Amino acid sequence: MLQPFARTGDSLSAPWSWCLRWALCLCLTLLWLPGATASALNCHKTCICASNIVSCSKMNLTSVPTGLPTYTTVLDLSYNEITRLRSEWTPVKLWKLHNLLLSHNNLSFLSSEAFAYVKHLRYLDLSSNSLQLLDEFVFEPLVNLEVLLLYNNKITQIDRTAFVTMIKLQKLYLSQNQISRFPLELVKEKSRLEKLSLLDVSSNKIKTLPIGELQVLPAYIKTGLYFHNNPLLCHCDLYTLLAHWYIRKLNSAVDFKDEHTCVLPGPQKAQVGIFDLSGDSMNCSTFIEAGEEAFLEQTLILKCDTKHRDMLKTWTLPDNMVVMPRSNQTARVLPDGNLRISPVRSEDSGTYTCFATNEAFNETIYMVLKVHNFTMHGGGETLNTAYTTLVGCLASVVLVLMYLYLTPCRCFCCPNKGKAQGEDSIHSSMLSVTPTHGDPKAELNRHVAFIDSKDSQGQNGKLNPNGNEDADDPDAETGSLMKSKRKKSVAESISSVFSDTPMVV
């Protein structure tokens, strides 16, 4: 009875034995593949451990090994298949970890708390992955990071606050992505990262640049600002910007001169070199370095804009005199190395020289100053004076025209007005003469009348008391009786004219 039962048990246990064999083989396979599961760190098979350096590069890992030593300073996980970096990739705080390399993984996801336990990182390499978006909080714990490599990803958008907490960041590589907006907030005054000296956004999809803001940046930022190999729209301001950087020998313009290209306007979208825009492409004006201009009595600051930080700066005046501290000169060197001139005088014109030195570099900057021979507001006063003179001239012309054409009508306009009352105005005045000695009020209306001898001359130059040229005229005798009284009055008036006392009318 036991034997049949044994045979039956053998037949039932056969499928389970095959399952156990397959499970055992699978476990052995998983143990043999070093990167198939999140296994513990193995410094003999999966990684190479050299003192405080752990290198797990090119080991086909799909996740970060667990059990990393807390004394690790450099962790190399490059060239693996780690697609997601979660917050629990390290359950313990790695206080001494300074360098983390995750390049050439198929990394497409970063948890917002992925770097919570590695706050002392100084170097982070995330290049050559599949990252598309940078969350605003993903780099928030990395307050000590100095170098961040994000080139050769698929990043299309960068949050404006993604790097705001990285106050010690010096170099940021964002080239070979799909970024279409220039991250001005990283270099603009009052929002920029103060330690940042290199920003690489080359080989992206940026079409326009904030040229006005870039022109006023310090030289130590401009020399490390790379934006070549972008589909920039051609413009003469773009040429002027790069031509100025090239004259100053800034690295970003000199090192990649031939790779600074732009797209010409038009349907063909031809691509040309930016430094060729001064030729036949757009006929931009050739850039010439301009000097400083100032006015009398103003305060002027000349900047010693060097390509390196923390340099000792010394200034010399146009007469080759060194500006000394605590001197009585109008020029004084400020704590930041710039030169302050106050007040500006006409003799301050000339070439100023700034010598900048440190332990590794030295640089010489020349600044040409032209002082205008008037104050800052002199031009405005001259304009006001000229305007006032012009208005005065116009007013004078208007008054002259009004006088010529709008004054009351003279006798040549109405010639018969005087003859309606007498022969002429002078004779009428003489006929109206009446003694006024008895009337004191009438004396106030006295006038002196003069007779034109041309109208009263007779023969041989003698005056004709009748005012007639011919005394024998028969017409004169016709009305002699009627005009006797008038002739007498005329004679009396004439005698009054030639007497010592003026005639009073």
- Per-residue pLDDT of 380-435, as tens digits, reads 445 456 667 888 888 888 888 888 877 665 555 555 544 444 444 444 444 444 44
Taking CA atoms, 387 is separated from 173, 293, 376, 377, 396, in Å, by: 58, 26, 19, 15, 14
Taking CA atoms, 425 is separated from 78, 416, 420, in Å, by: 123, 11, 10
Q: Where are the beta strands (DSSP E) in 269-388?
A: 271-273, 292-296, 300-302, 312-316, 331-333, 339-341, 350-357, 362-375
* Residue 123 near residue 146 (C-beta atoms within 8 A): yes
* 211 vs 463, more confident: 211
b (16+ CB within 10 A) / e for 32-69: eebbeeebebeeeebbebeeeebbbeebebbbbbeebe
Q: Is residue 144 part of a domain?
A: no
Q: Is residue 310 part of a domain?
A: yes
Strand order in the sheet with 198-200: 48-50, 53-55, 74-76, 99-101, 123-125, 147-149, 171-173, 198-200, 225-226
Q: Is residue 343 part of a domain?
A: yes
Given pLDDT bands bounded at 50, 70 and 90, which one contains residue 456?
very low
Q: Is it the case that residue 154 has pLDDT exceeding 90?
A: yes
Quickly tell me which residue has 């790779």 as its tokens.
259
Tell me the HSE value of 223 on the side-chain side, using a 13 A CA sphere.
14
The pLDDT, as a whole number, for residue 15 is 52
The pLDDT, as a whole number, for residue 94 is 94
What is the domain count for the chain? 1
DSSP state at residue 48 = E
The pLDDT, as a whole number, for residue 2 is 40
Quickly tell me which residue has 């220039």 as its tokens.
182
Closest CA to 66 of 102, 45, 41: 41
Q: Which amino acid type is present at position 351? A: T
The pLDDT, as a whole number, for residue 31 is 42
The pLDDT, as a whole number, for residue 347 is 85
The pLDDT, as a whole number, for residue 349 is 87
Closest CA to 274 of 361, 334, 211: 211
The pLDDT, as a whole number, for residue 385 is 60
The pLDDT, as a whole number, for residue 386 is 64
CA Rg, the chain, in Å?
A: 53
* 3 vs 43, more confident: 43
* 385 vs 322, more confident: 322
The pLDDT tens digits for 90-109 are: 989 999 999 999 999 999 99
Nearest 10 degrees: Cα torsion 167, 170, 176, 179:
30
Q: Is it the case that residue 368 has pLDDT exceeding 90?
A: no
The pLDDT, as a whole number, for residue 413 is 53
Q: Is it the case that residue 253 has pLDDT exceeding 90?
A: yes
312 beta partners: 357
Q: Is it the case that residue 305 has pLDDT exceeding 50?
A: yes
Q: Is it the case that residue 348 has pLDDT exceeding 90?
A: no
Query: What domain range is 361 assigned to?
Result: 292-372
The answer to whether the bond into 343 is cis (omega within 30° of 0) is yes
Q: Is residue 308 part of a domain?
A: yes
- Region 254-274 average pLDDT: 90
Q: Which amino acid type is present at position 50? A: A
| Whole-number Å distance between alpha carbons of 470 and 68 | 148
| Whole-number Å distance between alpha carbons of 369 and 351 | 6
Quickly tell me which residue has 């302050």 as its tokens.
340
The CATH number linked to 353 is 2.60.40.10
The pLDDT, as a whole number, for residue 415 is 53
* 36 vs 120, more confident: 120
The pLDDT, as a whole number, for residue 412 is 53
pTM (global) more than 0.75? no
Quickly tell me which residue has 């007013």 as its tokens.
395
Q: Is it the case that residue 481 has pLDDT exceeding 90?
A: no
- Region 146-164 average pLDDT: 93
The pLDDT, as a whole number, for residue 491 is 44
Q: Is residue 234 part of a domain?
A: no
The pLDDT, as a whole number, for residue 157 is 87
CA 483 to chain centroid, in Å, comes to: 97
- Region 222-245 average pLDDT: 93
SS3 for 222?
Answer: helix
The pLDDT, as a whole number, for residue 502 is 47
Q: Is residue 69 part of a domain?
A: no
* 119 vs 346, more confident: 119
The pLDDT tens digits for 172-181 are: 999 999 999 9
The pLDDT, as a whole number, for residue 71 is 92
The pLDDT, as a whole number, for residue 297 is 84
* 464 vs 294, more confident: 294
| Whole-number Å distance between alpha carbons of 406 and 385 | 31
The pLDDT tens digits for 125-137 are: 999 999 998 888 8
| Whole-number Å distance between alpha carbons of 243 and 414 | 80
* Residue 214 near residue 186 (C-beta atoms within 8 A): no
| Whole-number Å distance between alpha carbons of 155 and 163 | 15
DSSP state at residue 241 = H
| Whole-number Å distance between alpha carbons of 36 and 32 | 9
The pLDDT, as a whole number, for residue 310 is 83
Q: Is it the case that residue 309 has pLDDT exceeding 80?
A: yes
- Region 192-210 average pLDDT: 94
- Torsions phi, psi for 365 (to 5 deg): -125, 130
Quickly tell me which residue has 């930016």 as its tokens.
274
The pLDDT, as a whole number, for residue 332 is 87
Q: Is residue 207 part of a domain?
A: no
131 is written with which tokens? 């990252």
The percentage of the chain sitting over the pLDDT mark of 70, rounded to a whole number, equals 69
Q: Is it the case that residue 121 has pLDDT exceeding 70?
A: yes
| Whole-number Å distance between alpha carbons of 121 and 98 | 4
Closest CA to 466 of 502, 427, 503, 432: 427
Given pLDDT bands bounded at 50, 70 and 90, which one contains residue 496?
very low
- Region 437-466 average pLDDT: 47
Q: Is residue 347 part of a domain?
A: yes
Q: Is the dihedral of CA 311, 317, 318, 320 positive or negative?
A: negative
- Region 254-282 average pLDDT: 87
Nearest 10 degrees: Cα torsion 419, 420, 426, 432:
160
The pLDDT, as a whole number, for residue 399 is 86
Task: List Cβ neighbours of 220 (8 Å cut-off, separation of 6 or more).
Answer: 197, 306, 307, 308, 309
The pLDDT tens digits for 13-67 are: 455 465 556 555 554 444 444 434 457 888 888 899 999 999 999 999 999 999 8
- Region 331-336 average pLDDT: 88
